[in-house]
Amino acid sequence: MGGLKLQSGTKVMEEEPEHHNCTSNRGALACTVNSEIGAVLAVMRRNVRWGGRYVSGADQLEHSLIQSFKALRKAIFSWEQPWKTINPIVYLQPFLDIIISDETGAPITGVALSSIYKIMSLDVLDVDTVNVGDAMHLVVDAVTSCRFEVTDPASEEVVLMKILQVLLACMKSKVAIMLSNQHVCTIVNTCFRVVHQARAKGELLQRIARHTMHELIRCIFSQLPNMDGRENLLSNGSLCEQEFDGVCKDDNSGSKQLDNGNNSAEYGGQAPSLGLSAYPNSVGNMTSVNSVGSVNDKERSDLLLMTKPYGIPCMVEIFHFLCSLLNIIEHIESGSRSNTIAYDEDVPLFALGLINSAIELGGSSISQHPKLLALIQDELFRNLMQFGLSMSPLILSMVCSIVLNLYHHLRTELKLQFEAFFSCLILRLAQSKFGALYQQQEVAMEALVDFCRQKTFMVEMYANLDCDITCSNVFEDLANLLSKSAFPVNSPLSAMHILALDGLIAVIQGMAESLGNGSPILEQALVDIEEYTPFWTVKCENPTEPNRWIPFVRRRKYIKRRLMTGVDHFNRDLKKGLEFLQGAHLLPDKLDPRSVACFFRYTTGLDKNLIGDFLGNHDEFCIQVLHEFAGTFDFQNLSLDTALRLFLETFRLPGESQKIQRVLEAFSERYYEQSPHILANKDAALLLSYSIILLNTDRHNAQVKKKMTEEDFIRNNRHINGGSDLPRVFLSELYHSVCKNEIRTIPEQSIDFPEMTPSHWVDLMRKSEKTSPYIVCNSRSFLDHDMFTIMSGPTIAALSVVLDHAEDEDVFQTCIDGFLAVAKISACLHLDDVLDDLVVSLCKFTTLLNPSSIEDSVLAYGDDTKAKMATFAIFTIANSYGNYIRSGWKNILDCILSLRKLGLLPSFITSDVTNDSELSSEPDHGKPSASQVPSVSAPQRSISLMGRFSQFLSLDTEEPKSQPPEEHLQVDEHTLHTIQKCHIDSIFTESTFLHADSLLELARALVWAAGRAQKGNTSPEDEETAVFCLELLITITLNNRDRILLLWQTVFEYICSIVESTVMPCALVEKAVFGLLRICQRLLPYKENLADELLRSLRLVLKLDARVADAYCENIAHEVMCLVKANATHIRSLMGWRTITSLLSITARHPDASEAGFEALMFIMSDGVHLSPANYVLCVDAARQFAESRVGEADRSLCSLDLMAGSIACLAQWSRENKEAVGDEGATKVSQDIQEMWLRLVQGLKKVCLDQREEIRNHALLLLQRCLMGVDGLPLSPALWLQCFDLVIFTMLDDLLEISQSLSPKDYRNMEGTLVLAMRLLSKLFLQLMSDLSQLTAFNKLWLGVLSCMETYLQAKFRGKKSEKIQELVPELLKNTLLVMRTNGVLEQRSALGGDSLWEVTCLHVNNMAPSLITDVFPDQASDHSEQKQSIVEGKSEPNVEGVRA
């Protein structure tokens, strides 16, 4: 039945309780009632009227009121049954008789009311009490019909307060559920009358009456959530007249309620029913005018419903009554009162407070009851829109509070109402350009900020309104309003600016929180429209499922944006606009009337003049569009003038009569289709429409002097309704409606913040029936990307301006919080450009970008709270959201460099986190690494903050000459603490966690900053800055070794530019060179695929200017040594080893660097551990250069030679391994390589054999002999040996001989001994190889070469004379050689005739050297030899010995 649910069923009789408790409770209640009886009788006896005897006829009896009390007193102590079984009417009736009696005065009535209140408050009655319902009805009837004589104003107010007290107690009692709908309405009506009467009474009564009214409303509507869903309302939607005019007409209570006996004086003879009868639109005076069917049946049904326990019906009527109080202003404005502002502050404000209480307690349960919901959707919201424009800030504030409550509880049912509220009210009032007072602007802004603090408000506005094609962009407008209102343009910062900023930050922080909760961010699919489909009235299939509604609203927003672009084209050129929309697939390729009509009808911002001209055109297509356009309107149950207003507000009515006729014909046809009740045909609608437009022009055109009267209007419209007249009342209503409200035939073009007219409201209510369902959003960040893209720019600008103008620390913190929230959102949504803009804006407030003098800047910075907060925010953003910073790194680096310039930067800012972990495992070689080598860094000036503060803290230093003031030291300490909290070093040491794009931009920013300082190059500070930036660049490079490929090109190109452009030693090139070496040293073990690239980069060192290279050669050698020792196993390519050995070779001739270089070479070549075919030749060549170098002691050269000679073991090992290898081609290639390496080895030793130092060249000769003769296991071919003789042995002998003959003995001491060793080497090697080489065709040539060498040495003169040792040695060696050759059968005379060329040549050379040697060695062939010799002398035989040696 729509009533309250009883907590327990009503019982006729209670079960008998225990006797003792029953007797005790019964006695106590009897005493209570007895005491109240005594109190009433005592007051009555004070009055003479009640003190004597009452005369009635012939007998003198007591008055019936006193008799009833005495009878009750006798009975109460004699009742034996439980109190609940006693009819309450028995002990309540005497008191109620006093209350309704018009013979009693105010004191007596007041005491009786107090007694009733006491009984009600003691819970004597409960739902199990017998006949409790009738008793409650009787109490309400009596109290609401209370009558009394007024003796003084004070006692009158007391009685009125007691009436309120009793009625409120009735509603709060346990048995209030027994009250009927009618009685609850009566209680509310009575209380409101007291409220109205109290306006002429004392302040206390006014406050109590209003408070009681509020409590009643709260008590009633707090039960709404407990109501069942059924609504048994009255048939006509309102209660009958009796509700608020009294319980029944028979008692005439409607005219005498609360009668105080002084009517004529107080109210001028009018009836004292000051409740609803005073207001035409009140519930009590509403009657059914639209009822259909049997009135008697409906009246009986209504009366029956009113007698049911109270529930939804009375709540609907009470709420309707409260809403009707807001309509009072309309009637007063149309009356005689001219000043309504004072009245506007009273009744509407009171009514709004009651409505707010009802909504607060009813909550979302209201949506379950259509009648209540309909009242809120239409009447209440319409009145709220009206009162929101009131000049009273109090009323506006209450209106905003109600709307906020409605948003919380009923927003799903009030979509378009909210759009109207914000577009037509808040956005108008919050801007001064619309003429609102400052107080109105402030209240409107406060309300908007309250809405912004609701987590889902903005996203719901965006999803439901901004993404709805037919709605305005409320979210965008509100965001722009907040950002613009926060700008202090040409004025100091005010509370309004801060308030707007609070709202803006509330929205931003709401987004940040939702993103911070780990809410999923749905990927934004690219929206594209491939073909036209009707979309104007499409609704979301499932508005509760995010996977459905998010793509839907994004698509709608895309369409809306494209439509707005089309609107711009359309307003410039109608034809081109339609063509654009066709190209965007927002209109069909072949235009149809329906689609164009929908475009005109539902698209905002169109030029209404163009629409009117198009619709009025005589073209057939335009006419079809016109009729389709009219068909989009819903004119059902609308008056003709209202329908015409709606129609004409969508376009401008053309000026030509034919166009007007076509437009009105389409309108009339549509109106007649939907509202044919009074009009006979569409022609009647057309004629009447013409007449209304003429009336409108006549009444509202200032140029028309003689105005049309009502009679004129009625007369003009005779016989137009199918030959008959229209009802006079109907025409009269039209006349007055048009006269009161002009029909605008020239509608407003602006779509920004339109005024809410009655016709607009009607249109809104019609649209709300068809609009898309409201999408409820939770705290998940589904649309934050779309929204933030819109408001990020204005938000950053507003934050920047406010922070710039602010002077209060709380405002600073608010702005900083806003910046951090924007940064968080930008990072979460991957909006790099937004984050860069934010960084640029925020860096300006650090005051670090353009510091003046160091001392002044440090002190100023320490005193500047804003600057320190901005600095902390900048580095918080850099550390927290650095992944998404791009160009902003440049600004951050500017701040870092400024801090460094001021001496505020921590000294460990460029520390490498990998230093300790990696270098600790390396052995200590007694030399500092490049990272430990002192280099130029930022100087800590004594005048800087660091210098002053460190002086202050140091106890061991000498007392400074001038101690800084104490306050300066405190500022310095706080500044240091702020900088430490920034964790600037983490930006670089934790750069391993940066995304690739951000890391690359950071590296480029460092190069940019260093290059900028390098270009200046006008002061040491510039160079220091460049060095500092390079240090940071190297730090992030080393910390990101896993991503070195990303950074390498940038880092290498910058270091290369430094090396190539530097011609003098400086800190920058030092840092570049050693940084490069350090990078290679660290990364080689981890990046084998990049090893060649890293090692190739070291060739930059070879390009250093000679002066630069000389300055840093020792440290370079040390770094190369460390690199080799740490990474020798990782260097595998020929190119890599060529770079390393080139660097080592350079150090061979540098006095300071040679030691480290040779140590590295020894590490590679010792025991052949790190020798390989790739580096063998290079290392041998490097060792040769160390052997030839005269830098250092001779032992180093000897050791170098030993390294060279010892390397032959590696060749032997590789040869053995090669023999075991599979594959002929591969083995052959390796064998050839080994031969080539051996040849390069002996060639290297041959070169050292020419050394100026005796010890070195002799040692080289011995080692050469070892390498030539100890070649077992090496695959040396005979051809290679022949090549070796030509390139090594013969060449060396020639060179040694030339040196001995041409150079000073002082330079080359004891060359004679060297020559002896060389000749012995020649002989030994030849004899060792003779058996293998004798079968070769080239053996003769080889042998002749040996003979030639011996002959040359034998005949050579040194310093004008021949060497005795050589003269002794050569014949001896020759003889020994000949003997071996004879023994082996290599040399013999094979034929006496013709002879042998080898023999002949041998004989010839031997005779030249030792004529008797042939005879001694070959005695058997002595005679033949003599003949041969004679023939040669005679010219018979002359062997060709030219070219014996190559």
The set of catalytic residues is: 656
SS3 994: coil
Nearest to 889 by CA among 785, 994, 1015, 1041: 994
Q: In the structure encoding, which two tokens stand for residue 368, read together? A: 């379950």
Phi, psi of 147 (to 5 degrees): -130, 145
Structural contact between residues 1165 and 1183, judged by C-beta atoms closer than 8 angstroms: yes
SS3 520: coil
Task: Output the 3-class SS for 715-757.
Answer: HHCCCCECCECCCHHHHHHHHHHHHHCCCCCCCCCCCCCCCCC
Structural contact between residues 222 and 216, judged by C-beta atoms closer than 8 angstroms: no
Cα gap 98→200, rounded to integer Å: 26
- Its sign, for the CA torsion 331, 335, 338, 342, is negative
Structural contact between residues 450 and 406, judged by C-beta atoms closer than 8 angstroms: no
Compute CA distances 266 → 102, 193, 262, 953, whole Å: 18, 15, 6, 88
Fill in the DSSP letter of residue 250.
Answer: T
Amino acid of residue 557 = K
Nearest to 1054 by CA among 1073, 1067, 1035, 1036: 1073
Phi, psi of 105 (to 5 degrees): -90, 180
Structural contact between residues 409 and 364, judged by C-beta atoms closer than 8 angstroms: yes
Cα gap 775→929, rounded to integer Å: 66
Give the helix ranges, DSSP H, for 1040-1104.
1044-1061, 1067-1083, 1091-1097, 1099-1102
Cα gap 704→698, rounded to integer Å: 6
Q: What is the dihedral of CA 1086, 1091, 1097, 1101, to 10 degrees?
A: 90
Cα gap 697→690, rounded to integer Å: 11
> 56: which strand partners?
59
Give 1334-1342 contacts, CB < 8 A, sequence gap 24+.
1334/1384, 1334/1386, 1336/1278, 1336/1282, 1338/1282, 1340/1397, 1340/1398, 1340/1401, 1341/1443, 1341/1444, 1341/1445, 1341/1446, 1342/1282, 1342/1285
Nearest to 355 by CA among 314, 377, 325: 325
Q: Give Cα 1188 distance to the centre of its chain.
A: 68
Structural contact between residues 1250 and 1299, judged by C-beta atoms closer than 8 angstroms: yes
Look-up of token digits 């070649």: 1271
Give the helix ranges, DSSP H, for 983-1066.
984-989, 996-1016, 1020-1039, 1044-1061
Compute CA distances 442 → 447, 976, 1371, whole Å: 9, 42, 125
Structural contact between residues 1097 and 1076, judged by C-beta atoms closer than 8 angstroms: yes
Cα gap 1357→1359, rounded to integer Å: 6
Cα gap 1300→216, rounded to integer Å: 132
- Cβ partners under 8 Å of residue 263, min gap 6: 269, 270, 271, 272
Cα gap 1107→832, rounded to integer Å: 46
Task: Output the 3-class SS for 446-492.
Answer: HHHHHHHCCCCHHHHHHHHHHCCCCCCCHHHHHHHHHHHHCCCCCCC
Q: Give Cα 632 distance to the centre of its chain.
A: 42
